Amino acid sequence: MSERFYCPDPPRNGRYRLGPDEARHLSRVCRLGPGDRVELFDGAGFATEAEIVRAAADQVELVAIGEPIVRPVPDYRITLATAVPKGDRFDWIVEKATELGVDRLIPVVFERSVVVPRGSKLDRLRRTVIEASKQSGRIRLMEVHEPTEWPVLVGGFADHVRLLADPNGRLFARWEGPRTVDRIVLAVGPEGGLTELESRMAAEIGWFPIRLGYNVLRVETAGVAGCAALIGRMAGMETEA
């Protein structure tokens, strides 16, 4: 596969221009120059092969070649709403969720949360999404939402199938969910678990508790394993259809 670069801006005068970070990566790290071909994607569903026509240390111009690149995308949309673990474990969640094809990731603030990413941390996580998209061939960026309090989040998503990771819930492999669904949200609580009030909120509104395995999973394991299981289930439904 060609080297891939994120280019969210529309072409000007028939040429695409990479931002400073992508331009430096192309010219200094990949050591590409005029005549070399790469893939550009805008993060909103468009991708194209392009030829470099001008390359400087922090400015690169390219021209599209041929028809836009078309890659299949699923009909369903998955949102991961998760507590934020300590250290760099949340970075790992963001990277792997992007690779899997999760559409939106929402950091959730619970009563027992110990980390709330804001400002520059969110900016860095969004850069992680770009890098993981470049590596995985993804053409739509996963949205990283602003942190949301659990009482606010739990009352939303009325048009979604709402699942809550719960060690005491029904085993996911035995969950008999709807056969036709295009929007799913999976919520994962903090390491200390949800409080009794938080759990009751979810139950009263209609969130379905599911157990993702036979053992208790850490936050990052539950989020990634849960999304992978959902994607596998949804892909199987598409195949059957």
Provide the strand spans (E) within the chain: 4-6, 16-18, 37-41, 47-55, 60-65, 77-82, 104-109, 143-144, 148-149, 161-171, 183-188, 208-211
- The domain ranges of the chain are 4-65, 77-240
Six-digit token string for 36: 């070399």
Six-digit token string for 132: 């993981």
- pLDDT tens digits in sequence order for the chain, 241 residues long: 579 999 999 999 889 999 999 999 999 999 999 999 999 999 999 999 999 999 987 889 999 999 999 988 888 899 999 999 998 999 999 999 999 999 999 999 999 998 888 888 999 999 999 999 999 999 999 999 999 999 999 999 999 999 999 988 888 877 766 656 789 999 999 998 999 999 999 999 999 999 998 898 999 999 999 999 999 888 766 555 5
Fold of 77-240: Alpha/beta knot (3.40.1280)
User: H/E/C letters for each residue in 27-52?
Assistant: HHHCCCCCCCEEEEECCECCEEEEEE
Distance between CA 162 and CA 85 in Å, rounded?
22
CATH fit for domain 4-65, picks 3.10.129.10, 3.40.50.1000, 3.40.50.2000, 2.40.240.20: 2.40.240.20
Six-digit token string for 146: 């602003």
Q: Residue type for 237, please? A: M
